[in-house]
Amino acid sequence: EAQVTQNPRYLITVTGKKLTVTCSQNMNHEYMSWYRQDPGLGLRQIYYSMNVEVTDKGDVPEGYKVSRKEKRNFPLILESPSPNQTSLYFCASSLMSGNYGYTFGSGTRLTVV
């Protein structure tokens, strides 16, 4: 089944403790992206990647890192999480530019205390 898989689904952590949210897709998509969703603000792009070893900042990259060493994986790294990074995170992938939309993972609900 074609899908984007994120892990974990839920995570509660403490301020400053490094964490990684994994994202993997099995559709051979070039484009992958991370979004966060907050009430009243909609989905905002954190980082995106157009292919292996090609990544760029989205609208809200501060406090996050990403890497794209393999085409299928695009992990999101929070080196020192803070409470304002409490949010619902989605990974998404797309086959090519623009016209096909994105396939989203099931989301990761992160709480930083």
Question: Which residues in this chain contact other proteins in the complex, by CB under 8 A?
Answer: 30-31, 33, 35, 40-45, 48, 50, 56, 58, 88, 90, 94-107, 109
> Which CA distances in Å does 72 have to 6, 12, 84, 99?
12, 26, 29, 20
Per the CB < 8 A criterion, the answer to whether 78 and 64 are in contact is yes
Residue placing its CB nearer to other proteins in the complex, 56 or 79: 56
For residue 61, what are its two tokens? Answer: 């990259």
Residue placing its CB nearer to other proteins in the complex, 96 or 113: 96
Closest separation between CB of residue 13 and other proteins, Å? Answer: 19
Residue placing its CB nearer to other proteins in the complex, 65 or 109: 109
CB atoms within 10 A of CB 88: 14
Beta strands 87-94 and 31-38: pairing type? antiparallel
Closest separation between CB of residue 113 and other proteins, Å? Answer: 20
**Dihedral-angle region of residue 68 (phi above 0 means left; psi in -120 to 50 means alpha; beta otherwise):** beta
Closest separation between CB of residue 18 and other proteins, Å? Answer: 25
Closest separation between CB of residue 16 and other proteins, Å? Answer: 27
Residue placing its CB nearer to other proteins in the complex, 5 or 79: 5
